[in-house]
Structure 1
């Protein structure tokens, strides 16, 4: 059984690798399960091209993602959008190559500048940034926060949301305040791989039943995602592309109709300015 198309079904954070992974086959699985819309986030530069240390590498990664999105939109009942940016773990790759944290920061900010061009001019919908989800020293932590703050500035300039890859936790009020200080509303900051309860940004909840139940009961704006990474060495990681439609079906069976509309109609409109019903 698949989810009925009485509401759009969005996976807010998924990766596609048309050269090394499943690519369009994963999109077809999502659509067959009842999915309608995707936000496709570029994979880290070193997984598609090389450790990003110049503009050409970033552009190549972004163009690969944009091409994958165009193909995805051809097979979806709705459509897909690119989310482009710089993975926060790049700072460790760069410092491992001999760059200082400030030098790595500057390279990553320049990569975000390139991503912002695709947002400002189309076709990208939003930016992606963050900070390491693992322990790092103070110089790398401070440089990473500077990168993230730069993303907020670019989000404010382009009028776009910023998806964050960060450490786990529930209290990100300080991060939301940094965004607000730079002119980006906190609701347009999206914490990817979120738990069901979150303070500060908008939660993009990994499609785990327990966490979704928490999010539904909280009755706050939230999104749903799989963080499917499309890596042939790790099939199905993090969650497979069919998961969000299947969880929506489960939520409907549990009576969480209001939460479904929150995650797949109201929050996408408020955060990204997209009307998923109109694009079905």
Structure 2
């Protein structure tokens, strides 16, 4: 990517140095031209945390912060952590741990409170939350929305972005309005695994060519991601770490240099307050 002289940010991926590729994946990303990563903590159950005590989720965040530090050493730019509770946790709490939806809600809001401590201390860049992308009961859906609204309250207080896992949608203006009413600007709400167009939050566009081209043509703010899960038991489940650098090269070949700057310089600065140019070594 040297000829482009641009930062290249993957906005959402996971790393698992213990069981997955870990730093090998980071090195592959960097070798293809990648410069910056936003690393999201693994779902807590993947790290063996099956508790209903929010404090027992702290090691999930500590592990992610350590991984981010190591990843930064392998990048020409740097990595940042995004911390929170995967929305699928509510189903595990209700179905496996015997929690009521209200108890599960309280646990997940407590986990977000702990994640917010790391943001406040400058150890994390933003929060993650959301709601299930699969069918759930009305009570679980309502509790999940309450968890997400709590994340927006924290984001408003901390002036930090909130990344969302949600159902597939081209219109999440209602969710963006919930954030706005809690003091978090809609553009600081980032829809993970988004298509090329989205009303409401900022789309973090999955880096398939069709989705990326749609976003590039729109002229609207967006970022790019792979959702790389680093799970050896699910190879090829989502996109690999080479994908974003390759798509940036493809966008350049197609003449979308303005979109490259939008996705890798302007939108990251607007949403997260990060400078992907000055943090390049």
TM over 0.5: yes
What is the distance in 1 between the residues matched to 2:128 and 2:4?
Answer: 29
Give the drift of 1:54: 1.5
What is the distance in 2 between the residues matched to 1:224 and 1:252?
Answer: 14
Map of 1:12 onto structure 2: 11
Give the drift of 1:5: 5.2
> Per-residue displacement from partner, 1:55-109 (whole Å, max 9, x unpaired)?
3431110011101000000010000000000000000000012100000000000
What is the distance in 1 between the residues matched to 2:62 and 2:174?
Answer: 33
Map of 2:24 onto structure 1: 25
What is the distance in 2 between the residues matched to 1:246 and 1:156?
Answer: 35
Equivalent pairs, count: 279
CA contact (8 A) 1:205 1:222 kept: yes
Map of 2:196 onto structure 1: 196
What is the distance in 2 between the residues matched to 1:225 and 1:272?
Answer: 15
CA contact (8 A) 2:36 2:75 kept: yes
Give the drift of 1:50: 1.8
Residue 158 (1) aligns with residue 158 (2):
yes
Give TM-score, length-normalised by structure 1: 0.98
Residue 34 (1) aligns with residue 71 (2):
no
Give the drift of 1:159: 1.0
Map of 1:218 onto structure 2: 218
CA contact (8 A) 1:12 1:38 kept: yes
Map of 1:77 onto structure 2: 76
> Per-residue displacement from partner, 1:213-242 (whole Å, max 9, x unpaired)?
110111000000000000011124310000
Q: Which runs of 5+ in 1 are unaligned?
A: none
4+ runs deviating over 4 angstroms: none
CA contact (8 A) 1:3 1:248 kept: no
SS in structure 1 of the partner of residue 73 of structure 2: helix
CA contact (8 A) 1:230 1:236 kept: no
Please provide the CA RMSD for this pair: 0.9
Residue 53 (1) aligns with residue 52 (2):
yes
CA contact (8 A) 1:230 1:237 kept: no
